[in-house]
Structure 1
C-alpha cells in the first residue's frame, strides 16, 4: 500500500515537472510577436521566464504598482518615469541642492573652463554643452506626488558653479513650449524626448550659438513643425516592465525629412562605410562614427560627444553640418578616453556635447585636458621669477643653467620671492634645451598651495614639453584657479635615456 502511494506521488510529481517544462516553451512560442521571432533551437528563448514578470506587471500596472520600481515608477495618465537605479534620479531630483552639489559644480565649472581654453588653442571656434532635461523636470505634474522634483535642484547648483556661457540649458524653453503643443514633447513610456521636443531644443541651441557664430546657417523653421503623429510600441521604460507591446506610445514626426540631405555613416577608425542614404536617426555610438552629409547647410566639422538624447536630434545636426564625428561622451571623457585624440587628429571646427540632465554632474566632467603650451611671444609680460632652492638626482654643470641627470627621480624645487595669487597670473615660462637635440621632454609640474606642507599628485600636471622657450597656460591646470596662493613650484624631469644633459632656466610667472 505504501509503495503504491509513493509510486503514485512520484508519478504525479514527475508529470507536473514534465508539464512545466513543456508549458514554459509553449507559452514563449504562442506569445511570440511573430513566427520570425521564434528561436526553436535556443534554450534562452524557449525557457525564458520573462512572461511571468510580464503577467505580474500586467496585473499590478492598473493599480500603479511597478514590478521594478528601482528602474521605473508609474506616474499619472500612463506616464512612466525612471527610477533610482540610474544616477539616483528620483532621490537627487526630489531634494534641494546640497553644499556638495555646489562644490561639485565649481569643480566641473573649473574643468570645463580649462577644456574651453584647450579647445581654443587647438583651433576650435566654439565649445558648448547641451543639457537634455530629465523627463520629470519637464512633466513633473505626471509624477506621483511623492516624486515631485525640487526647485532649485542639483542641476541649478551645477550651473551656479560653472560658467553658464558654455552650457545650453533647455529646461525653460521646453517648459514654456509644452503648453502650446497638443502633443507631448517626451514619450510617455520612454526616458527620452521625441522629435518634437528635440526640434524645439535644437532651435534654442541654434539661437544661442547664432549669437556667437553668426555665419552658421540653420535649417528653416518649417522643418521643426509637426507633420503627423504615428503610433509606436512602448519605449525603454515599458521594456523594463516587459510591457512594450501592451503600453503603446505616440511618435511625433516633423518635416526634417523634407530636406534634401543624404548621409553616409563611416567607422572613423577604419573608414569602412556602415550605411548610406537618407538622413536617419543615429543611436549613440560607443566607437567614433563619422556622419558625412551631402546637402548640409555648412561645410564644417563638428565633434559631437553625446548620449541617447542625441538620437532624435541627429538628423537636425546632419542637416546643418557636413561632417559630424559622433561618440558617446562617456567613452570620450572616461580616463584614457578619446576626447583629446579626436580633437588633435580630426581638428574640428566646433565641439558640442549633448548630455541628459541626470548625467551632467558626472565626475568625469571634472577631469582636465592636457595643459596648454604656447610658444613664448612678445606679448608675455614677466611678473615674478623663481629661485631654485633644491635639486634631486641632478648635478649642476659648469654654468648656472647646465645640469646632468644622475638618478631615477630628478627634479627642481623653486620658490617665489612673493606669494603668487593664481588668478593674477596666466602663464609660467620655461626655457629647456637638451644637449642631444631632443625635441620634447616629459615633465611634471607641481605647485604648493596655501598652507600645504608638501607637494602632492593632486596639485600637479604631466605634459610633453616642446624644447625651447614655451608658456604653460596655468588656467588649464587642474585646481590651479581654486587655490588662494602659490608659494613654490617643482619641475620633475620624467625622461628615461634621452636629454640626460640639458639647460633649464628658472621658470618665470607672467601675463599676456
Structure 2
C-alpha cells in the first residue's frame, strides 16, 4: 500500500515539475509576451490535453465529452454543456419544454406586434439549424434523436410567418452538393449553408416585400474550396492544428464586390473601410453602411456567430445594417434601439439550440405594450 502511495506521490511531483518546465520553454522559445510567472501560464495543461486528445481521438473518445462528441468519419458535434442539446433531442419534448415553447411563441408574437406598431415593415427570425439536425447520420449511434425536433414543436405553436427554418432546404441541398454545408470540425455552417438560409429569408419576404431586390446565385454555386484549420470543436479538443476542414468559396455575383464602411454605432467612429467581408459576432453595436447595396433600406440585425457567413449577403442587399449580438440584449435595450435606429426591417439570426432561451422568452416591457398589442 505504501509503495502505491509513494509511486502516486512521485508521479504527481514529476508532473508538477514537468508542466511548468515545458510551458516556460514554449514561452521563451516563441518570444511570447505573456506573464510567464503567473500560475495559469506555468500550469497551463493545453499542450498535455492536446497530446492525450490526439491519442484517444482516433478511438472516438473525447477529452471533453460534455463539450464535444466524436462522430463518424471525422465529424464533431457539440455536447450537452450547450443548452442540453443532445439530451433534449434524444428524450423528446416534455411538459417543461412545452411550457418554454409556449412562452417563446407568445413573446415572439408580442414583439412582432410591437415592432409593427413602430413602423417595422417585417420581422423575421432565421434559425441556424444545429449541425446534428442537418447531418444526424454522422452522430454516434448512442446519440440518435427522436423524429420530432423541439424546433418543430415551436414552429407549430408560432403564428404567422415570423420564423424562417431552412432545415428542409439544407437537407435537400446536401444531397446535391459535392461538399458539406457545415464544417466537420466546427459548429457553424459554411458559406454555402449560409447562402441557402439567406435564400429562405428571401422566399419568406417575397410575397409581401415585392419591391426588394435580392442577389442572384450563379451556377455552379461553389466556385472552389481550400483547406483551413480545425474549427471551434477541434479547439475544444486542443487538436485544432492536427485537424483540418474545407472552406467553400462561392461563385459570388458582382453585387458582393462593393465598398463598405463600419462605424461604432454609439460613438460614430469609423472602424473599417474597404470591401464587403464577413463579420464575426460584434462586441459592440456595429453599423455597416453599403451605399451601393441593392436596396436603400435599414436593417436591425440581432445575430450570433451564425451571422458571420451571412454578412456579405446582408450587406449587399441592404444599405444600412446594424449588427447587434442579441444574447446579452435586454428587452428595454431592444426597445431603445428600435426607437433610435428606426429600422425598416428587424431580423434575428440564431442558432437552433438558443431559440428557446431566455432572450426569446422575454416580450416587450409592459410599459411599452399598448392595449391593442396585449389583446
Give me the TM-score of the superposition, normalised by structure 2. 0.90
Question: Which stretch shifts more, 158-167 or 80-89?
Answer: 158-167
CA distance 1:245–1:19, change in 2 (3 Å): closer
Q: 2:349 aligns with which of 346, 354, 366?
A: 354
Q: Which of 283, 287, 303 does residue 284 from structure 2 map onto?
A: 287
Map Cα deviations across residues 388-444 of structure 1 (whole Å, 9 max, x no partner): xxxxxxxxxxxxxxxxxxxxxxxxxxxxxxxxxxxxxxxxxxxxxxxxxxxxxxxxx
Which of 194, 208, 214 lines up with 2:210 in the alignment?
214
2:22 match = 23
**Equivalent in the alignment of 1:67:** 63
Matched residues, number: 361
- Structure with the greater alpha carbon radius of gyration: 1
Query: Taking CA–CA contacts closer than 8 Å with sequence separation of 6 or more, which of the two structures ends up with the larger relative contact order?
Result: 2
In 2, Cα distance between equivalents of 1:84 and 1:148: 14
Indicate the residue corresponding to 2:193 in structure 1: 197
Q: Which residue of 2 aligns with 1:369?
A: 364
Q: Following superposition of structure 1 onto structure 2, how do residues 452-463 of structure 1 map, counting pairs within 5 Å?
A: 461-462=366-367
Aligned to 1:401: none
Q: For the residues of structure 2 that align with 1:14 and 1:81, how far apart are their CA atoms? A: 36
The Cα RMSD (Å) is: 2.3
Q: Choose from 47, 71, 84 the match for 1:88.
A: 84
Work out the CA distance in 1 between the residues paired with 2:195 and 2:14.
Answer: 59
Equivalent position SS for 1:245: coil
Cα distance, 1:200 vs structure 2? 1.1
User: Retained in 2: the 8 A contact 1:196–1:224?
Assistant: no
Q: Structure 1 residues 29, 232: CA separation in 2 closer, same or farther (over 3 Å shift)?
A: farther
**Could you say which residue in structure 2 is the equivalent of 1:175?**
171
CA 1:131/1:18 → structure 2, altered by over 3 Å: closer, same or farther?
A: closer
Whether the 8 Å contact between 1:267 and 1:289 is mirrored in structure 2 is yes
Offset of 1:76 from its aligned partner? 0.3
Structure 2, unaligned runs of 5 or more: 1-11
1:39 to 7, 29, 33: 33
Give the Å deviation of 1:116.
Answer: 1.2
SS, match of residue 277 in structure 1: strand
Asked if 2 retains the 8 angstrom alpha-carbon contact of 1:223 and 1:256, the reply is no
2:336 matched residue in structure 1: 341
Q: 1:328 aligns with which of 317, 325, 329?
A: 325
1:313 and 2:310 correspond: yes
CA-CA distance at 1:287 after TM superposition: 1.9
CA contact (8 A) 1:72 1:83 kept: yes
Per the alignment, do residues 57 and 342 of structure 1 end up closer, same or farther by CA in structure 2, a change over 3 Å counting?
A: same
- The C-alpha deviation readout for 1:326-380, integer Å capped at 9, x for no partner, is 1012133x354x211111011000000001101001132121214xxxxxxxxxx
Counterpart Cα distance in 2 of 1:204 and 1:323? 21
- 1 or 2, which has the higher strand percentage? 1
SS of residue in 2 equivalent to 1:22: helix
2:302/2:348 contact within 8 Å kept? yes
Give the one of 243, 247, 250 matched to 2:243: 247
Unpaired runs of 5+ residues, structure 1, are 1-12, 371-460, 465-471, 482-512
Q: Secondary structure at the match of 1:339?
A: helix
Q: Report the counterpart of residue 371 of structure 2 in structure 1.
A: 473
* Corresponding residue for residue 397 of structure 1: none
> Matches of residues 113-124 of structure 1 in structure 2 within 5 Å?
113-124=109-120
- The answer to whether the 8 A contact 1:281-1:311 is kept is yes
Contact 2:24 2:36 in 1 (8 A): no
Task: Report deviation, 1:207.
Answer: 1.5
More helix by share: 2
CA offsets per residue over residues 435-457 of structure 1, 9 Å max, x none?
Answer: xxxxxxxxxxxxxxxxxxxxxxx
Distance 2:116 2:269 in 1: 31
Q: CA deviation at 1:231?
A: 0.7
Secondary structure of the residue that 1:326 maps to in structure 2?
A: strand
| Aligned 8 A contact 1:101 1:157 in 2 | no
Contact 1:28 1:46 (8 Å CA) reproduced: no
- Rate the CA distance shift 1:24–1:214 in 2: closer, same or farther, 3 A: same
Of 42-51 and 235-244, the range deviating more from structure 2: 42-51
